[in-house]
């Protein structure tokens, strides 16, 4: 599938005006990353969809028509933005814990452990009955069968998946459920009168307010993208939840950041007040977690008729794994990517994709879906729910096709991508980070606010 075909398919899913596709300028071709999958195409198409959605909103507000240019190398670099980040000249690392990763079990099948969050790491070590040492973990897993350990970890609220092939995933009840779901679901969840978009401003999303209740990569990329086009994005996190610092810095550009612990009644009242003045509410927690505090989709629609509520999950919104915790790396392993990539490389050990492509693509699809829902709200009224899952995004990437000899090329080095970096000040030091890859001809994307430590700002709109 060509990048233009991939973008056209996304655009049809979003239901936005077909003539806007003429504004896209896509350059480059796969392979741009060492993978047998068309990751450059996935990056370029998803980023272009979000950029086109932003200029569509701007035009609906009375702004000028403009072109959206996305270079494939730049898009692929954007899909690894956390890796390229430096602070005061020092790389921050990707936040991987020392026992995270792949291990063979006693039955010869592999499992992937996600232990980057301290409580997940402690839970895995308790389940295995071993110390915080990679060799001890490897030895303990020899007493387990992979699927049994996956199930035991899930029952304990931990983050582990067993290796599967595409064929095994497609026959699995969760794989079947995911394939039946839309790539980007946009569902009406309540009645409200049409709400016109604000009058045209100097940036496509200026005047729109976004509550960002997310962490790690996919959800934060959504908020970062909306901020890049001028939305006011307020990140809300509780002080006790962990988030890898490199990800916090990279995705915090353009946002203000406030602490609210929703276990506290006063914090829930504050969030309800913010929600009543918001246009978009983005949340990326396990199904039911935010709803348990009174901020599920229907709750939000009652508090703020006309809200666009955006949800992210790992394994899909239906099926037996809908409530399981998960991350990009785990979804890759469970759904067959690691097996397929290893086979293409002639290897037996599962091989990860070179970037967190499911995460980054999902983040841009969330942003595009939110903007498509805002256009529907302006035209039809109503409250809307946008849903994207990592697993369904993975199925879309599979559908883009494979790249012959894609694994033959070397991984990009910093000198190769230097033209896509920009420097800025932040609350952490001087950043060198990847510029936004969608280049708008009339309203260039940029982040007006620096990345700041979590909780820097009060929980109020500017």
Q: Check residue 219 and give its pLDDT.
A: 97
- Homologous superfamily in CATH for domain 3-87+178-317+354-440: Crotonobetainyl-coa:carnitine coa-transferase; domain 1 (3.40.50.10540)
> What are the structural domain ranges in the chain?
3-87+178-317+354-440
Give the model's confidence band at 43: pLDDT under 50 very low, under 70 low, under 90 confident, else very high: very high
| Mean per-residue pLDDT, 104-113 | 98
Query: Is the pLDDT assigned to residue 127 strictly greater than 80?
Result: yes
- Asked if 95 and 245 touch (Cβ cutoff 8 Å), the reply is yes
- Asked if 456 and 257 touch (Cβ cutoff 8 Å), the reply is yes
186 forms bridges with which residues in the sheet?
A: 386
DSSP state of 37: B
Q: Residue 299 class from Cβ within 10 Å (0-12 exposed, 13-18 middle, 19+ buried)?
A: middle
Bridge pairing between strands 209-213 and 255-259:
unpaired
Q: Check residue 94 and give its pLDDT.
A: 66
383 forms bridges with which residues in the sheet?
A: 190
List pLDDT tens digits, range 405-438: 999 989 999 999 999 999 999 999 999 999 999 9
Q: pTM surpassing 0.95?
A: yes
| Mean per-residue pLDDT, 219-247 | 96
CA distance 6 to 162: 30
The beta strand positions in 194-244, using DSSP E, are 209-213, 232-237
- Asked if 388 and 184 touch (Cβ cutoff 8 Å), the reply is yes
| Mean per-residue pLDDT, 331-355 | 97
Mean of per-residue pLDDT scores for the chain: 97
List pLDDT tens digits, range 240-275: 988 889 999 999 999 999 999 999 999 999 999 999
Q: Residue 295 class from Cβ within 10 Å (0-12 exposed, 13-18 middle, 19+ buried)?
A: buried
Query: Is the pLDDT assigned to residue 331 strictly greater than 90?
Result: yes
């Amino acid at each position: 599938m060509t990048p233009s075909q991939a973008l056209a398919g996304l655009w049809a899913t979003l239901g936005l005006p077909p003539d806007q596709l003429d504004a896209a300028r896509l350059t480059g071709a796969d392979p741009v990353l060492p993978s047998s999958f068309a990751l450059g195409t996935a990056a370029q198409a998803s980023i272009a969809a979000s950029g086109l959605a932003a200029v569509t909103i701007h035009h609906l507000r009375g702004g000028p028509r403009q072109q959206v240019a996305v270079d494939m190398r730049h898009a692929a670099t954007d899909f690894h933005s956390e890796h390229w980040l430096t602070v005061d000249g020092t790389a921050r690392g990707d936040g991987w814990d020392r026992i995270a990763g792949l291990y063979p079990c006693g039955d010869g099948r592999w499992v992937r452990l996600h232990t980057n969050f301290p409580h997940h790491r402690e839970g895995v070590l308790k389940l295995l009955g071993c110390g915080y040492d990679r060799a001890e973990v490897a030895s303990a897993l020899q007493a387990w069968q992979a699927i049994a350990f996956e199930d035991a970890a899930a029952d304990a609220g931990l983050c582990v998946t067993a290796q599967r092939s595409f064929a095994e995933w497609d026959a699995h009840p969760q794989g079947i459920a995911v394939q039946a779901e839309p790539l980007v679901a946009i569902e009406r969840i309540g009645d409200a009168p049409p709400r016109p978009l604000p009058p045209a401003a100097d940036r496509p999303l200026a005047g729109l307010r976004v509550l960002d209740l997310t962490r790690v990569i996919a959800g934060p990329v959504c908020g970062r993208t909306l901020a890049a086009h001028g939305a006011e994005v307020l990140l809300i996190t509780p002080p006790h939840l962990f988030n890898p610092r490199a990800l916090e810095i990279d995705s915090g550009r353009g946002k203000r950041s406030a602490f609210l612990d929703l276990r506290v009644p006063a914090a829930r009242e504050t969030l309800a007040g913010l929600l009543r003045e918001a246009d978009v509410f983005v949340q990326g927690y396990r199904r039911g977690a935010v709803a348990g505090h009174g901020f599920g989709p229907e709750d939000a629609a009652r508090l703020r008729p006309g809200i666009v509520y955006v949800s992210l999950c790992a394994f899909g919104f239906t099926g037996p794994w809908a409530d399981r915790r998960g991350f990009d790396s785990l979804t890759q392993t469970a759904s067959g990517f690691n097996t397929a990539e290893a086979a293409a490389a002639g290897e037996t050990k599962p091989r990860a994709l070179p970037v967190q492509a499911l995460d980054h693509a999902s983040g841009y699809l969330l942003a595009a879906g939110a903007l498509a829902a805002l256009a529907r709200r302006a035209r039809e009224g109503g409250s809307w729910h946008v849903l994207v899952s990592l697993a369904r995004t993975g199925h879309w990437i599979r559908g883009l096709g494979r790249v012959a000899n894609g694994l033959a090329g070397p991984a990009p080095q910093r000198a190769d991508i230097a033209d896509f970096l920009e420097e800025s000040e932040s609350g952490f030091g001087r950043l060198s980070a990847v510029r936004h890859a969608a280049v708008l001809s009339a309203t260039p994307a940029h982040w007006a606010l620096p990345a700041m430590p979590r909780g820097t700002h009060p929980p109020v709109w500017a």
